[in-house]
Amino acid sequence: MRSGSAALCLSSLALAASASAAEIDARPFDKLTLSGSYSTFKDTDDEGGGASAGYLHYFTPDVLAGLGIDHTYVEDAKLTYGSVRAAWGRGDPASRFTVVGEYYNGEGDDNGRKFDYGVGVLAISQALTSKFSLQLETRQIDIDTTHGNLPKLGVTYVWSPRVVTNVAYAKSVSGNLGTELTSARLDYFGKHINFLIGGSTGTANPAVLVLQPGVVLPASQSKEGFVGIGKTFKRGDVTLLGDYLDVSGSEKYTVTLSFTAYLGARGQ
């Protein structure tokens, strides 16, 4: 069995394209998000899954904060962690500046052996025009015996109100992460259906992408692809996402279904 509490919040750097920064620019509705996932590994009988819940509150259209909880497992390995997040933005769309902070903390169990899980994120986003913006992120990772800092630089371009692209580059600068990844993502917001596609490629410590507690391995070739489809309703939205992850020949397939409800007076 390949020990691995999954592609946790670190399995897809392309997917983690500063969600809070995007949310603070979106319609200011309080949001409750529930999701569930199922994972399977090619050439093995290993299976996994998870569930999460998160709540975001908009104090003003420029200030939000939220809490979340996530549980993930793969065979005998499991992980439960909580999260807090906040974002602050200022300026019109052509010059908007946003600061995002997130912290994840929890505990895992690898077949009877406990381990700690902690990730801190600080990110800024600066719009240079109404269509073009830059993102800079630093991610401090402390997962069992894997430690280090992973900075990321991203570029987002809004082709139209319906089409947005993001390209990012991340490279670890300390610890034993051994990670260098390039990622890309495209989002299409249609009148009836939303669509997203993207992926990443490069090298990474398997302990970061497919969690192997207690084992420090050299950086390995990694590639990932994902595709999703969603539908927005008056009071919420639903998204179905498929993800493929290959780290050093270990292939993992994950399907995630998420539902977000718009709450409070802002959602009316």
Residue 2 lies inside a defined structural domain of this protein: no
Residue 119 lies inside a defined structural domain of this protein: yes
pLDDT at 45: 76
Do residues 149 and 164 touch, judged by C-beta distance below 8 A? no
80 compared with 249, residue with greater pLDDT: 80
Residue 202 lies inside a defined structural domain of this protein: yes
- Residue 21 pLDDT greater than 80, yes or no: no
Which residue has tokens 């390039």?
A: 182
Mean pLDDT, residues 143-159 = 91
CATH code (residue 136): 2.40.160.60
Instruction: Tell me what the pLDDT averaged over the chain comes to.
Output: 83
Backbone angles phi, psi at 25, to 5 degrees: -95, -5
Do residues 149 and 138 touch, judged by C-beta distance below 8 A? yes
Residues 192-234 pLDDT 10s? 999 999 999 998 776 665 544 444 556 678 888 999 999 988 8
pLDDT at 213: 43
Do residues 26 and 89 touch, judged by C-beta distance below 8 A? no
Do residues 39 and 47 touch, judged by C-beta distance below 8 A? yes
Rounded CA-CA distance 131/179 in Å is: 30
pLDDT at 173: 93
pLDDT at 158: 92
Mean pLDDT, residues 222-251 = 89
pLDDT band of residue 16 (cuts 50, 70, 90) is low
pLDDT band of residue 144 (cuts 50, 70, 90) is confident
Residues 22-56 pLDDT 10s? 555 566 689 999 999 998 888 777 788 899 999 99
pTM of the entire predicted model = 0.86
DSSP class of 93: T
Residue 196 lies inside a defined structural domain of this protein: yes
Beta bridge partners of 247: 222, 250
Amino acid at 61: P
Mean pLDDT, residues 162-190 = 91
Domain interval for residue 198: 19-267
Query: How many folded domains does the chain comprise?
Result: 1
Mean pLDDT, residues 151-158 = 94
**Contacts with 49 (C-beta within 8 Å, 6 or more apart), sequence order:** 36, 37, 38, 39, 72, 73
pLDDT at 177: 84
Residue 4 lies inside a defined structural domain of this protein: no
Residue 100 lies inside a defined structural domain of this protein: yes
Rounded CA-CA distance 145/176 in Å is: 9
Residue 169 lies inside a defined structural domain of this protein: yes
pLDDT at 138: 94
Rounded CA-CA distance 241/89 in Å is: 28
Residue 42 lies inside a defined structural domain of this protein: yes
